[in-house]
Every structure is written in C-alpha cells, then in structure tokens.
C-alpha cells in the first residue's frame, strides 16, 4: 500500500502574486481549472495572508487531498495525494492519471500565463521505501517491491530490500551498500586482473557483507583477516545475500581466513604493537562525507584509519579503498588532500566503475608509499 503524490510547480510573474488581490485572482483561476478536471472535489479549508500567500486544501472523501500554495514571489505549487491500497485502482476518478496530470499542467500554465510549469513524476510513499540518495544527495527511485529484513544492531539500522532489477540490496542506516547485481563494485575495489593476490597476506577493514572476502579467496591468497564490528550485518548477509558472499560468513576462522568481530582501530593498534604487516589493506568502511571541509567525526575516523593502516602495510604494499560518487568532486578533492598530508608520503591512482545499485559511477583509490 502507498500514498501516491503528484507534484506541480508553476512560476508566475511575481506582480500577479505580490498582493492579496493578485493572489485571490490566481486562486480563482486555479480553483476553476481544478473544478473542471475534478468536479468531485470541494473546497474544505482556505487561508489568506498578505505575508505568506494563499493556501488551500481540497479533498474527496478521506482518501484524496489536493493542496495548493501561492507564494508572494510568484511560485505556485500544487500537490495531489491519494491513498492506493494494494491491488486497487487509483481512487481519484479519472481514466488516465498521466494524461489528466498533463492536462492540468497545460491548462493551468496557459490560463495563468505561467513563465514555467512542470509536473513531477508520481511519488509513492508508504510501507516500502523506494527513494534513496545518490552520493551527492540527489534522490533516486528504485523498483523495490518488498522489505526482506529489517533490524537494528547496536551500531546501525540494517535492511535488506528486494529490487526487481537489482535483486536483494543491503542498506545500512538507509544508505545503499551493495546488491546482488554489484560484482563490478568488488572487482573494481580489488582491481581484479591487475593485482596479484596469490600467496599474499591481506587485511580487510569492514567488509561485513562478505563480498570482498569471498572474491579475494578465489585469488589464492596466503591468508586474509577481516575486521568487522557488526555481527548482525554478517548474519544478515549470510542469510539474504549469499549470491555475493557465498558461504564465507558461516565460519569465523579457517586455514584461509579469519573474521574478527570488533573495532578495527583497536585491532590495528594490536597489529602495530605486534609488528604484523600485510601486503594489502582494504578500507571497506564508511563513505567520504559530503561536507565542504574535512571536519567532524567521520573525517577524524578516516584520518585515524589512514594513520594505522599504513603502519601495518609492508613497504611495497598497497592500500585499496572506495571513495565516493564521481560527481562529489569537492569531497574527493578533500579526501586526496588528506592523503597528501600523510607521512611518510604516499601516492595514489584511481579507477572508476558504474555500480548498478548506486545508479552512478564511483571512484576507487589505490595508494602506495611514494
């Protein structure tokens, strides 16, 4: 079930909405057009304020609400919202919702002499989340049809959503992490076909979905240690995402690998004290924050991970990590500036890949000592 929301925006000459008389005239045109298209609607409540503009709520029974707002600066917004139970036809009584929406946008634009007008795609709001942010915080709509699993661990909200085209998707704190469609993400992160992992010692920071560990073990490494803080993430992915992780999350220790449940920073400190070194360290942790300056808790965490990771990396070793979406140019530059501050100095290369469940291109980093 979901509430369907259709949005319309109109830009008018601000002289038409600057005073109360002008807004009332616009409201009259609006109401006449609505009554023509939706004769069943009745004006339920209206408010007029010289400062804030005109606001009206119209409704049909209990299931349909139409609201409009006329701002004094020349902006008119119109929202049509109705409830749609599962398996039912739209409650709004018109034959072709799309065509009627276009007619409403066109008719109002002409009669209001609007400078600009648009009808936005219908939003579906209800018990299943369908909208998630791109890396630069644009809204993306997914073809999610059900919630497979949802719970909260001591660390985060964990969800498995099912997409008709992407398969099961892991979301942590309502951010896309990985889906059954996303082998390209893991292969680009590990630079498959470029890096040689045979006989190498590897440390994964994070990686609770198990996909990176699963793919690395196919490359015949000497040993892999994975440091993941959230046991529930691993249990969830083992049950609902074994397409990408196989059976590697069913055991915590084998001859090939060991999964340690705990804070990766604390275990890195332990490895440093022991003098333990790795050929590869993977940072499969938090995304680069969307901020204008490298400040705050997450940036501090990133710097801490850098500091400790390079202390457990062999002199000819490599640190591999994901960055963020390619459109996040400011944040990627800030990330690279943090790399430039490291001592001893490091150098880096980058690779890119379009990740299906992210619906965008992402940047990945390969960092070595200079």
Give the pair of three-digit tokens for residue 203. Answer: 């440390």
Q: Nearest-CA neighbor of 363 among 292, 353, 133, 355?
A: 353
Determine the Cα–Cα distance for residues 236 and 86; give it in Å rounded to an integer: 28
Token reading at 6:
């259709």
Q: Tell me the helix, strand and coil percentages in the chain, rounded to 5.
A: 30, 40, 35
CA distance 322 to 331: 13
> Is residue 284 among the annotated active site residues?
yes
Selecting among 13, 284, 292, 340, the annotated active-site residue is 284
Radius of gyration of the chain (CA): 27
Task: Give the Cα separation of 312 and 274 in Å (integer).
Answer: 10
Distance separating alpha carbons of residues 204 and 242, to the nearest angstrom: 19
Contact predicate 188/212, CB 8 Å:
no
User: Taking Cα atoms as reference points, which of 317, 299, 318, 297 lies closest to residue 365?
Assistant: 318
Q: Which tokens hold the place of 291?
A: 């901020």
Catalytic residue IDs: 284
């Amino acid at each position: 079930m979901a509430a369907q929301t259709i949005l319309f925006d109109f830009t008018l000459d601000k002289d038409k909405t600057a005073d109360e008389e002008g807004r009332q005239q616009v409201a009259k045109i609006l109401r006449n057009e609505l009554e023509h298209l939706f004769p069943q609607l009745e004006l339920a409540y209206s408010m007029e304020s010289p400062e804030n503009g005109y606001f009206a709520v119209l409704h049909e029974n209990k299931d349909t609400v139409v609201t409009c707002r006329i701002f004094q600066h020349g902006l008119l917004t119109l929202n049509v919202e109705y409830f749609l139970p599962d398996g039912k036809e739209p409650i709004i009584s018109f034959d072709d919702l799309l065509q009627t929406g276009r007619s409403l946008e066109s008719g109002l634009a002409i009669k209001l002499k609007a400078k600009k007008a648009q009808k936005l795609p219908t939003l579906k709001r209800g018990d299943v989340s369908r909208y998630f942010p791109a890396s630069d915080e644009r809204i993306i709509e997914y073809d999610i049809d059900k919630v497979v699993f949802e719970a909260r661990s001591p660390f985060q909200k964990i969800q498995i959503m099912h997409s008709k085209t992407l398969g099961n998707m892991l979301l942590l704190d309502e951010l896309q992490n990985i889906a059954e469609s996303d082998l390209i993400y893991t292969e680009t992160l590990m630079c498959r076909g470029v890096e040689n992992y045979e006989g190498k010692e590897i440390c994964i920071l994070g990686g609770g979905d198990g996909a990176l560990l699963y793919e690395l073990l196919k490359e015949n490494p000497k040993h892999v240690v994975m440091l993941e803080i959230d046991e529930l993430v691993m249990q969830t992915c083992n049950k609902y995402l074994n397409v990408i992780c196989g059976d590697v999350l069913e055991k915590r220790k084998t001859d090939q690998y060991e999964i340690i449940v705990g804070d990766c920073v604390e275990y890195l400190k332990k490895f440093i004290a022991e003098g333990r070194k790795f050929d590869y360290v993977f940072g499969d942790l938090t995304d680069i924050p969307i901020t204008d300056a490298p400040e705050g808790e997450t940036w501090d965490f990133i710097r801490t991970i850098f500091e400790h990771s390079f202390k457990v990396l062999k002199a000819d070793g490599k640190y591999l990590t994901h960055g963020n979406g390619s459109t996040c140019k400011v944040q990627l530059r800030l990330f690279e500036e943090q790399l430039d501050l490291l001592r001893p100095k490091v150098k880096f290369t980058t690779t890119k890949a379009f990740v299906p469940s992210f619906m965008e291109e992402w940047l990945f980093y390969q960092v070595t000592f200079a």
